Structures are given as structure tokens and as C-alpha cells.
Structure 1
């Protein structure tokens, strides 16, 4: 274990030791978040292929499988990937679109949904907390890497807004609400409701440096605790949307499919990017995702039935990354050439590939 410090990468030993309970009968090693450099980890060719397909000249990141809308998540990923490509021009354009078109709420959070054919273009002003975290994290990393106080100041404002408006409390536990409105206990009969894929674990040390008045270590700890609870059943997969009304047992939230779906595919990626590879669940998932079993898929977490198998290279590389990091097997040659088709798997591909290039170059 090691603790690290830096202007915007402050993680106390308390955070590194935060997870002391990983299940009542099963002790777990202390987990820590490893910092990522991010900058310069993405090849110019890969970024150009992504940018030309999904990023408009004005900095709008387009979800081409979802009616060509834009959302705060996509803007956050676009910022991180342009930073990974060390492309300051594109970063500025993506941030400018985000700032002018989506950062319109009174509480300092980012509205999540922008539709090109609607008027007004923002059709849902509620925020999506994962998008806010990705944007704040990217701004903070860019502010440090490029010595740009404007990005740093914006990151700090957003981090404080996240802390003020999207953290829920239950006893001593602190958790992320998916949005500022609609997910609390007073908002829903099964509330609070959470989405574990919104825990961008690598960002919490940075958020702790930006807004130290909030207990990000407890947020980080609760994410791991909830993941353990949600994967303790027979199927061992968390639903995308979880009710935590009963503190000792998570349940699929009402009104959502009880599925390990497109949201939750990001959970292992975020764990890996944070260096949190000691979680036993990752080995179970690696086995499940193997070619001998079902592969990467959308799965009903109640019945275990596979609804959809996901074959795009952006999903396949998630499984390959797990195998390489846990077992040392390099990813196959067919996954080394980027072929962007759809926004979401293409984004997951580059988030995985750039991280492997920085932390596990032997894999690629």
C-alpha cells in the first residue's frame, strides 16, 4: 500500500485503508486507488478515428446509436480521451460546448441530455452524476497537465456541486445518487436508488483534492460495499439500477429491467483503471465472460438468462483486459486495431486501450 499526494491527486491513507469490510464472513485486503497520468496514452490515429466519427466541429460528442443526442457522459468521455491524446484544441472545443450548452443548472451541475432536433435542445435538465464526475475529473487532470487555471477552477466548482447535491447518507454510509432529483428515499417508494457504474473510482482522489470538505473516501468505500452486496447472490451480477432501501440487501430497482446491462459493463473497467484488481468478483466475471461461457452479455440478474450477447470490439476488449491483467495473457491481435462504429463501445474501447498502454503495456 502507498499513499500519494499532489495538487489534484490527494488520497489519504484513510482512503487507501477505507475498505475494511468486504462481506461479513470474508476478510479482504485493503484496496487503494492508483493514479493515472492519462495524458499522452492514446495514439493520434486512434483519437483521430474517434474524433472524426463522434465529435462535431463545435465540440459536441454524438451518441450515434441513441438518436444522435449528446449527454454529459459523452462530453466527459470526450474530454478524457482528448486529454489522453494530448489534443488541447479538441479539449477546449468539447469543454466550450459543455459549458455553454449543458452547464445551465442553478446548482452548478451539468444537465445530462441535449437533442439536436428539439427546442430547447436540453430536453432533461436533471444531471447524471457520472457525467459530472467524468467532466470534473478531466478538467482537473487537464488543469494540472497543461497548467491551465481556468480548467482547474471549473473542476473545483463542479466537484463542490457534486458533493453538495448528489451525495446521499444512510447512517454512517455516504453514496452517490445518480442525479440530484428523483432517486432519494423521499422521491421513490424503493429509494434510495443507485447505479454502481456511476462510481468512477479513479476520480475520487482527485475530487478529494478539489473539494476536501466532502467525505469522498466514504463514497468510495460504499461503492465497494454495495458492489459486494449486489454480487453475493447466485447470478453474481449487479443490476444497473439498485434499490438500497434495505441497507443489508440490494434489490433491482422498480421500473427498470433487472439486468446487468450496458451501464454495468463499465464497473470492471472503472475498477481496473483504479488499480482495484484484488476484488475477487473480477475473477468470477472473467470466468463468466470467457469464450467457454456466455461472453460479455446483458444478463437478467434474477434468472441468470442472457438477453443479448455483445460482440463489438469495445465490449470484447473489456474481457480481454480482465484476462491480461489477472492472468497475463496479451489481448488478441484482432482487438489491437481500432474500428469505431458506435459511440458507446468505441468509447469503452479507447478508455480500455489507453489505460492498458499506460499501466499494462505488455497486454497491447
Structure 2
């Protein structure tokens, strides 16, 4: 029996393009402040959400090569599928088709080398071969598929939709693990995280649940139950609140009904996990209790930046030193409580490294698409 299976639903030929179901309460920005259900949501279009063209030009100059490679300046100038996905999303948000084509072209030529529709996760400029590890990363695949689906809508290009669907269906076939106590789990990669790979497997990383991507991919691969995958992610988030810190560790063993930090991996809330509230807010899902642990953590900001903590006891072990990360905390307060965004939220420090700059810009896009009222006043 195959260990991976897609979650397929019987759909008629009249299946709608976008299906967003479930009963997860969310705070939708409909100017009333009331909580809506996910079934009342429609995934907002991305195009035009990044209106600061000066900022976008600066981003391209600093982080996007002429060939379309997104450069991770804080990590040996490597590139990875996650970064290519973020670049594609920002290009759609800026309504910049030329940049989108360059980034997608480089991604196809250099990362789509596995022999399937998924991407090799890492490309090193000074290594030969540049792709030494043929494993994928499911968050990168989701981001790229999502960006292609958005591009198909924005520029009325069926080719982008076909490419998005191929990635989404391949991901459904190879990376969704059925029959778990949480529901269908999204594995971080094809290799290395399943029951057969580790004694504490399966291993999950909640930051790989790109919730707004799951919303949109229902439009290109409706036979996969993306809502069930979202629901499993929300169950994992709830289960992770059993620790003293009430925060999820980056890598979790889902072998048993009680989650535990994965063996041999740092049990911290750090550079991966900071994206969890970004994706929750961008998708417009979650209750205030889902956001509360993040807000409590970030109420204790210091001059050193947001804290990196031990996910067990909540002890601070390091800090996010660059200011771009704080935009995630600002977005979280906006999404959960309607808190007005500080003036600094609008000002991206382009001199910082790729990751904090990118997260800051993605948080801005999420606000413009979901919570524009937080920008007022």
C-alpha cells in the first residue's frame, strides 16, 4: 500500500472555482469587526496589493537577479523554492508580469529538476552541482503553485493555471499523509519525515501549512480536499498549546495524539514558526485564542527585537535582530484585535536581509488584502 495518498472528493463538472468551507471562526475585515465563518469568505485577489512601486523596484534590485533568481542574502546567497515562491507572489501583488516571467523561468530551469512536478528545495551558487539535494520542500511547492494560480487570474493565462494544477496534484499525491488522528497531514518533503523514515515520524512543521495557498488551490485542483488539510493544521495548532509556552515547536512529531518536539531538532519557536500567524491572518482564519500565544509572546518585545523562545518553557534563547520581523507581530495584533498598525509598519528597511524584508512586504500585502481598516487613522 502506498504511504502517501491524495484526498480526493467526488465533484461534478459544475464544481466551483473557489471552495472555502469549514466552520473555523475568523475575523474578516468587513468593517463590522464581527467574526465570520470560513464558508463566508472568498479568497481575495492578490494583484495590486503591493502598490508601492518604488519599494518593489528596490526589492528587485537588491534580491532578484536579471535571470530571476531570488537571492537569500542572509544565508550564503543561496536560492530556494520558498524564496522563488515569495518572489512570484510579490510580482503578482505588484502587477509586474515581466518580473514574474523571469522568476518563474529561472525556477522551472533550475529547481524543476526532480523528474516530477515538484521543486528541488535548494540551489547553491558556488556548488557543483548547484542542486546537491533533490528533495523538495512542500511550503515552497505550495507557494509556487499559489502564485501561478494568482497569475492565471491576474493575466488571464491558462498556462499558469495548468502549471499550478500540476504542482498541486503532485503535492496531493506525494505529500499528504492520510489516516492520522489530526486528519490529513502535510509532510515537509517527499523524503525524510514519514513513519518509514524516522522512529518518531511522521514529522510536521506547522509553518509549511501556507493557509492562503490552500484557499486558492481549490480553484485549480478541486478534487483535493484542501479544507481538510487546513482543518488538520488548525488541530495541530490547538494541540501545540499544551506546552507551558503554548507555542508550537518548529518540528513536531505527530506519531501519537500528543504532539512532541521532533528528536534531534531544536525545540524552538523561531525563524520557521514566525510565519504561522502570517499565514493564519492572510487566510483570514483562526479565533482570538489561536492568536493569543503569539500576541502574549510579542507583548514582551525588547530593544533586541522579537524573542526566539524555547517552545517548551517559553524561555528566550535569542532574538530576531532585524526590524522586518516585527511586521508579523503588528499584523497578528491587527488580525486578532483590530489594532491599528504603527507608522513603522509602512516603512520597509530594504537594507536588511532577504528574509525579514520579504516577510515585512508579505505582511503588508496580507493587510491590504484582508485588513485595510488597520491602516486607517
TM-score normalised per structure 2? 0.87
Give 1:228's aligned residue.
238
SS at match of 2:117: coil
**Change in CA separation of 1:284 and 1:224 when aligned onto 2, cut-off 3 Å:** same
**CA–CA distance in 2 between the matches of 1:319 and 1:8?**
35
Equivalence map 1:84-103=2 (5 Å):
84-103=93-112
Separation in structure 1 between the aligned mates of residue 338 and residue 87 of structure 2, nearest angstrom: 30
Asked if 1:16 is matched to 2:26, the reply is no
**Are residue 307 (structure 1) and residue 313 (structure 2) matched?**
no
CA contact (8 A) 2:144 2:164 kept: yes
CA gap 1:125/1:152 in 2 versus in 1, 3 angstroms: same
- The answer for the alignment partner of 1:22 in structure 2 is none
Could you tell me which residue of structure 2 aligns to residue 136 of structure 1?
A: 145
| Mapped partners of 1:286, 1:221: distance in 2 | 22
Moved more, 120-129 or 272-281: 272-281
1:232-243 matches, within 5 Å, as 232-243=242-253
Match for residue 79 of structure 2 among 70, 74, 78: 70
In the TM superposition, residue 104 of structure 1 has moved relative to its aligned partner by: 1.0
Instruction: Give the stretch that moved more between structures: 324-333 or 230-239.
Output: 324-333
Aligned partners of 1:34 and 1:275 also within 8 Å: no
In the TM superposition, what is the alpha-carbon distance from 1:46 to its structure 2 partner? 1.6
Q: Which of 270-279 and 125-134 deviates more?
A: 270-279
The CA distance in 1 between the partners of 2:324 and 2:372, in whole Å, is 18
Deviation at 1:324, TM superposition (A): 2.7
Where does 1:333-352 land on structure 2 (aligned, <5 Å)? 333-340=343-350, 341-352=352-363
Answer yes or no: is 1:58 the counterpart of 2:67.
yes
What does residue range 246-257 of structure 1 map to in structure 2 within 5 Å?
Answer: 246=256, 248-257=257-266
Q: Is the 8 A contact 2:123 2:130 kept in 1?
A: yes
1:156 aligns with 2:165: yes
Equivalent of residue 296 in structure 1, options 297, 306, 310: 306
**What residue in structure 2 maps to residue 39 of structure 1?**
47
Unmatched 5+ residue regions in structure 1?
1-5, 20-27
Aligned length: 348
Task: Tell me how far 1:103 sits from its aligned partner.
Answer: 0.6
What is the distance in 2 between the residues matched to 1:238 and 1:199? 13
- Alignment partner for residue 278 of structure 1, among 262, 274, 287? 287
How far is 1:192 from its partner? 0.1
How many angstroms apart in 2 are the aligned matches of 1:195 and 1:8?
30
Query: For the structure 1 residues 283 and 171, does the alpha-carbon distance in structure 2 shift closer, same or farther, using more than 3 Å as the test?
Result: closer
CA contact (8 A) 1:60 1:94 kept: yes
SS at match of 1:170: coil
Runs of 4+ in 1 over 6 A off after TM superposition: 292-295
**Bigger shift: residues 71-80 or 97-106:** 97-106
Select the residue among 171, 187, 209 that pairs with 1:199. 209
2:367 to 343, 352, 356: 356
Q: Distance in 1 between matches of 2:248 and 2:125?
A: 33
The alpha-carbon distance between structure 1 residues 10 and 335, as it changes in their structure 2 partners (threshold 3 A), is closer
SS at match of 2:135: strand
d(CA) in 1 for partners of 2:82, 2:224: 22
**Does the CA contact (< 8 Å) of 1:177 and 1:184 recur in 2?**
yes
Distance 2:285 2:253 in 1: 24
Against the structure 1 CA distance between its residues 206 and 228, is the aligned structure 2 distance closer, same or farther, given a 3 Å change threshold?
same
Deviation at 1:29, TM superposition (A): 8.6
